[in-house]
Chains A and B, each alone.
Chain A
């Protein structure tokens, strides 16, 4: 693996970011919680622009309230607006929970959200649960925002009572279809579980008016309370395991961190983790799904072999995809995540070593860096979100859209890559993308005519002359 210091021509500017700020992660996590109102304590743009990104990705209405801070707030503090917001919400609506995420503005002016919420609770009765989450936008990224939010939920709610034998699954920011894939595996294994948090229904809703009310789907407050009684926690993303660590320390619940079950080896690993925590029988159907993934990989191998692939997105997604594409015989040439992370670089070291590959690894990189690296190392296909489109166009390679956000194609909520079944879909679609791009309409490789072909042809006698 080469740790290309790709910042040699750029040290300061971020150009075309591949990360978002922490409150986005908080919202992503909270959209999987039932009957809950997320609110961002900040300027109106914080909630509005995030809703904009989320709504055009999921093609669902996205509701995130704002404390609508203004100039006065900055001088006198945001207490008045936060109190007023809580008052307005509780006056007209009866959610089970309100979760308040902070912003760079309120963190910088030093609003004491915990104190303000306590004060509100003291002055009012019959309130929903109100939880503050500290998500300063100027540290780390949306990935950490997600992590902190799940941790805050568990810290505030998890309560010891009777052991349930369930497994807590912290998903990280997955698309609804992938949450469903993970749940399918758990169901096959008859593994009772609590998903933190379950966006599968909320962010892929049917066409009904009910989708405009508070979510009836998703993880319930009761379930989050019950996480203290599970027999284990698995975080599918290594970057969002703080809640698992907390439950382990506080309640002695064993915690396993990652990897994201992308591809065969990682899905095997996930099932192994489940079997470490509990006594599950592997049914035939799961073995068959695995066999089908292998079958798909074998069917596709000749098209994928040694194709160079460049991958960008959230850190665990990128490491998962790197391993998966390497399993398929592809060569990950550039891998990039916007989040600086030791875990990520360690993962990459391990995968590179195991698979004998040496991708350019950009941890804390942006799409400018990525593009530079692709120009140097080459890539036959790019895997990532819609922001990769212009780069792919310039390099004349196809973009396989997966991740967040995808706003220029339909069905982002239904792209699944995880587990054996999601893996099958991924292998087929990725390979078909290559077939569409590099092969002719009948599936044969496009071969450039030799320049002297015509000359050769001309030397053959023409029919008429014979």
Chain B
């Protein structure tokens, strides 16, 4: 069978087409050294899971670069503190590498506690901190005893694994081992829940929260978007966990089920149908008649508000194709949302997918969809060139690869501009997708001055209006 694209022999099995040959791609393998990997490190994985806790200091124990390149990148919004946005580092120096960095870490923790009196200080281990053998746990314990502030070790040495999913788990472990279950709520209700794996990127949580509150559920904590550490500390009293980002956070939900007997359901607030299903599933779980009734009203109101608003967008987007190349969750959670605006997902891939992620993708996409694992930058460019989607959904590192090829792009990762979750979010979603796919600038990207000069000569003999209509008025931009 023809490979999806030309690449290294060992990489070919990392790509497949649903319904042909391989059922899911080979995945969860180390990236090939020497390629431009789109993956990051375990530290990065842990950091993005915990960083949205807004009342906490996130202290990176390592040389300056690990903090300097990551301190502002989450795009996660806060309704309260902005302490989490500070870029804190122990800035390890050569002498610390030789003599150990524990003392410096201790002093830094004490100092940050004095300066900010934070809800917690999360201390992230980096590669070097691990190699020199700093006992971060001991330092955290000691400084917590002295200060009374929660000082939480995150054993996230970057090199631990090729897959940053491990970092998500380590971040989850920090919450499970040091935070969850350490405080009792003043009041409980029969409808207490936690929202797990919702990071409030661009304010997504704020599209979901009002719906849930109107239903009558009580949100104890969010892990970790727009959260305070003391809220997460009470999470063990929830009756239900709902999991939005199942890539990063099934782990925490499963562990909480085991440890505290809290059941969880997988939800998805991207797209109308998914939002409706998620709300109904939550209401069904509680089985409260009034809640079920309220939920139906919320759904009716929500849907009514949306349909008219998206008509225009949908008209322009129908029949357009989209490729997803994301961290994990969005590779399946966005598929239906795109179908609802009339678009066709022709490729879905992840950088860090594990087997269960690809099973999810396979269940979600239609036959003929390309499924891709860990594509490096060269492979991504080849995929885009060969299959020419009308839109790529990915992150900052992929953005300009796509744009340079004249393929419209939306950043649905840390740099996302608007909130997409829930009913209102779906309007923003359609609007933002339309703003990329339908922009007339992409009609111009494959033109050149010399072509235009020749074209002008030819046009003299033809009716000029024939050509204008196809080049300027938002027709099909890309002929595959």
Contacts and interface: CB of A to CB of B under 8 A. Distances in A.
Interface of A: 9-17, 19-24, 39, 42-53, 55-56, 59-71, 73-74, 81-82, 84-89, 92, 103-105, 108-109, 136-139, 141, 205, 207-209, 211-212, 338, 368, 387, 390
A138 B127 contact: no
Contacts of B377: 61, 63
Contacts of B66: 21, 45, 49
B311 interface: no
Given A44-B158, A67-B33, 14 more contacts: A13-B89, A13-B112, A17-B89, A20-B68, A49-B66, A51-B36, A52-B69, A52-B397, A65-B37, A66-B36, A70-B30, A84-B32, A85-B34, A86-B34
A44 B132 contact: no
B39 A44 contact: yes
B251 interface: no
B237 to A, nearest CB: 35
A14 B128 contact: no
Contact of B71 (A9, A11, A16): A16
Contacts of B445: 207
A380 B260 CA distance: 55
A56 B396 contact: yes
Interface stretch (B172-180, B402-410, B426-434): B402-410
B64 A65 contact: no
Contacts of A44: 31, 37, 39-41, 158, 162
A19 B38 contact: no
Specify which of A13, A81, A84 lies most central, judged by the most chain B CB atoms within 10 Å of its CB.
Answer: A13
B412 to A, nearest CB: 15
Nearest to B158: A43
Nearest to B162: A70
Nearest to A64: B36
Interface in B95-134: 96-97, 104, 107-108, 111-112, 115, 126-128, 130-132
A24 to B, nearest CB: 6
B104 A12 contact: yes
Contacts of B34: 39, 65-67, 84-89
Interface in B54-106: 59, 62-73, 82, 85-94, 96-97, 104
A277 B8 CA distance: 51
B35 interface: yes
A207 B39 contact: no
Contacts of B403: 207
A48 B404 contact: no
The 8 A-B residue pairs whose C-beta atoms are closest, nearest first, are A21-B65, A45-B41, A85-B34, A88-B34, A85-B33, A49-B69, A137-B63, A43-B158
A28 to B, nearest CB: 13
Given A16-B71, A45-B158, A48-B44, A11 B97 contact: no
Interface residues of B, number: 72
B96 A138 contact: yes
Interface string B400-441: 110111100000000100000000000000000000000000
Given A13-B112, A44-B162, A61 B401 contact: yes
Given A12-B111, A45-B40, A17 B404 contact: no
A140 to B, nearest CB: 9
A105 B104 CA distance: 19
B415 A21 contact: no
Contacts of B91: 14, 17
16 contacts: A17-B71, A17-B87, A17-B89, A22-B65, A43-B158, A44-B37, A44-B162, A48-B44, A60-B400, A66-B34, A67-B34, A85-B34, A104-B65, A104-B128, A209-B405, A212-B404
A20 B404 contact: no
Contacts of B397: 48, 51-52, 55, 62
B192 interface: no
Given A60-B400, A137-B63, A12 B37 contact: no
A234 B68 CA distance: 30
Contacts of B65: 20-24, 46, 49-50, 104, 137
Contact of B108 (A12, A45, A63): A12
Interface string B294-325: 00000000000000000000000000000000
Contact of B69 (A11, A39, A53, A65): A53
A105 B33 contact: no
A21 B111 contact: no
B285 interface: no
Contact of B39 (A12, A13, A48, A87): A48
A88 B89 CA distance: 35
Contacts of B71: 16-17
Contact of A88 (B8, B70, B128): B8
B87 A138 contact: no
Contact of B131 (A21, A68, A108): A108
Interface of B: 8, 30-41, 43-44, 59, 62-73, 82, 85-94, 96-97, 104, 107-108, 111-112, 115, 126-128, 130-132, 158-162, 377, 381, 385, 396-397, 399-401, 403-406, 415, 445
Contacts of A43: 41, 43, 127, 158-159
A212 B379 CA distance: 11
B83 to A, nearest CB: 11
A55 B397 CA distance: 6
Contact of B87 (A16, A24, A53, A139): A16
A43 B131 CA distance: 13
A109 B405 CA distance: 41
B232 to A, nearest CB: 24
A108 B97 contact: yes
A61 B404 contact: yes
Nearest to B400: A61
A60 B396 CA distance: 10
Contacts of A59: 400
Contacts of A105: 127-128, 131, 158-159
B161 A48 contact: no
Contact of B396 (A55, A66, A88): A55
Nearest to A69: B159
Specify which of A15, A20, A73 lies most central, judged by the most chain B CB atoms within 10 Å of its CB.
Answer: A15
B75 to A, nearest CB: 11
Contact of B44 (A42, A45, A66, A104): A45
Specify which of B34, B37, B115, B415 lies most central, judged by the most chain A CB atoms within 10 Å of its CB.
Answer: B34
Specify which of B72, B108, B400 lies most central, judged by the most chain A CB atoms within 10 Å of its CB.
Answer: B400
A13 B37 contact: no
A387 B108 contact: no
Contact of B8 (A82, A92, A137, A338): A92
A51 B397 CA distance: 7
A48 B38 contact: yes
B417 to A, nearest CB: 12
A71 B160 contact: yes
A464 B416 CA distance: 60
A205 B43 CA distance: 33
A119 to B, nearest CB: 15
Contacts of A12: 90, 104, 107-108, 111
Given A24-B65, A46-B65, A55-B399, A68 B33 contact: yes
A20 B69 contact: yes
A80 to B, nearest CB: 8
Contacts of A20: 64-65, 68-69
Contacts of A49: 40, 44, 65-66, 69-70
Given A44-B41, A87-B34, A207 B406 contact: yes
Contacts of B158: 43-46, 105
Contact of B381 (A45, A66, A205, A212): A212
A73 B59 CA distance: 26
A65 B385 CA distance: 21
Contact of B161 (A15, A42, A63, A71): A71
B35 A65 contact: yes
B182 to A, nearest CB: 25
